[in-house]
């Protein structure tokens, strides 16, 4: 395997670190970084979800054990994090697609805040569903 | 902001946008049917099996898995490309993600088939 040149590796590390550093960044970059961070989180969740669903093959008792674990407070908090990730990624992605097709280009910042407000409202509703039921 | 058309950004951008919109619909349906309308948020073992035995649901879940896997792998590839991979690195990333995506789809298909035959 060819070693990665030091400059290239440093550039990659800097690019990754920049996603978590909103200082001095415009709204466009923050939206971009949010999309990437939530996207990677959702890819990890997809793999985890597949692993969890595989327990179904082990029969009813294995599934019941998982369901009991999934209803623990720590897992409900994890579910909230997941819902936040889905809402931010989904609604911001929808905005990016619409703006990318040439609609609402001049209003893209307002559009971003509308989507984030909608995410927040749906997040509160989902949280209420999660904890009240 | 400079306006660019989808054709100038390459075909994968428009597919990523289309699968993203489709995922909002499929994931919304999945979340409502599998979690929000279910007492306690998770179906019992027998409920999951019965649910998947409905052919319409089975097809929708299969489409959901295909679309989500494609969207996820193309998304990860875009992130890797943006980190400044050279041409050889881009080829390797595409190959690895194609294999990973194929494995996820095979794994999902196996799961769906086994569960519906239980």
From chain B, the residues in CB contact with A56 under 8 A are 45, 48-49, 111, 115
Tell me if B45 sits within 8 A of A60, measured CB to CB: yes
Residue B2's H or E segment, with its range, is none
Give the residue on A whose Cα is nearest the Cα of B76: A40
- Chain-chain contact of A67 with B44 (C-beta, under 8 angstroms): yes
pTM: 0.85
B56 inside 8 A of chain A by CB: no
B8 inside 8 A of chain A by CB: no
**Mean pLDDT value of segment B14-27:** 94
User: How close is the nearest chain A Cα to the Cα of B42, in Å?
Assistant: 7
Rounded to an integer, what distance in angstroms lies between the CA atom of residue A79 and that of residue A66?
14
Give the residue on A whose Cα is nearest the Cα of B9: A100
Q: Across the A/B interface, how many CB contacts are shorter than 8 Å?
A: 87
Choose among B55, B14, B52, B53: nearest CA to B30: B52
Question: Which pLDDT tens digit goes with each residue over A86-121?
Answer: 999 999 999 999 999 999 899 999 999 999 999 999
Tell me if B62 sits within 8 A of B109, measured CB to CB: yes
ipTM rounded to 2 decimals: 0.85
Q: Which fold has domain A6-132?
A: 3 helical TM bundles of succinate and fumarate reductases (1.20.1300)
Tokens found for residue A67: 């369901």
Phi, psi dihedral angles at B67 (to 5 degrees): -70, -45
pLDDT value for B84: 80
Tell me if B58 sits within 8 A of B108, measured CB to CB: no
User: How close is the nearest chain B Cα to the Cα of A78, in Å?
Assistant: 14
Indicate the DSSP class of residue B37: T
Rounded to an integer, what distance in angstroms lies between the CA atom of residue A24 and that of residue B116?
53
Q: Predicted confidence band at A81 (pLDDT cuts at 50, 70, 90)? A: very high
Give the residue on A whose Cα is nearest the Cα of B47: A60
When scoring B5, B45, B78 by the number of chain A Cβ atoms within 10 A, the one with the most, hence best to mutate, is B45
* Segments making up each domain of chain A, as ranges: 6-132
Between B6, B39, B83, which is nearest A101 by CB? B6
Torsion of CA B56, B57, B60, B61, to 10 degrees: -150
Question: Which pLDDT tens digit goes with each residue over A6-58?
Answer: 677 777 777 777 777 777 778 988 999 999 999 999 999 999 999 999 999 99
B29 inside 8 A of chain A by CB: no
From chain B, the residues in CB contact with A67 under 8 A are 40, 42, 44
User: How close is the nearest chain B Cα to the Cα of A121, in Å?
Assistant: 16
């Amino acid at each position: 395997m060819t070693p990665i040149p030091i400059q290239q590796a440093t550039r990659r590390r800097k690019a990754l670190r920049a996603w978590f550093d909103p200082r001095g960044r415009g709204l466009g970059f923050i939206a971009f970084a949010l999309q990437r961070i939530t996207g990677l989180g959702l890819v990890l969740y997809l793999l985890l979800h597949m692993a969890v669903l595989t327990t179904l093959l082990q029969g009813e008792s294995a599934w019941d054990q998982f369901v009991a674990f999934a209803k623990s407070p720590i897992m409900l908090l994890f579910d909230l994090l997941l819902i936040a990730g889905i809402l931010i990624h989904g609604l911001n992605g929808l905005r990016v697609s619409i703006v990318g097709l040439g609609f609402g280009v001049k209003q893209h910042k307002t559009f971003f805040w509308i989507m984030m407000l909608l995410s927040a409202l749906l997040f509160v509703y989902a949280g209420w569903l999660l904890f009240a039921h | 902001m400079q306006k660019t058309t989808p054709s100038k950004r390459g075909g994968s951008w428009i597919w990523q946008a289309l699968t993203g919109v489709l995922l909002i619909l499929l994931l919304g349906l999945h979340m409502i049917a599998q979690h929000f309308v279910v007492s306690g948020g998770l179906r019992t073992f027998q409920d999951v099996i019965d649910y998947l035995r409905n052919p319409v649901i089975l097809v929708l879940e299969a489409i959901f898995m295909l679309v989500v896997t494609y969207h996820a792998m193309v998304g990860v590839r875009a992130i890797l490309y943006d980190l400044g991979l050279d041409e050889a690195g881009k080829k390797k990333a595409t190959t690895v993600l194609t294999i990973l995506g194929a494995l996820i789809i095979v794994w999902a298909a196996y799961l769906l088939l086994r569960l519906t035959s239980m």
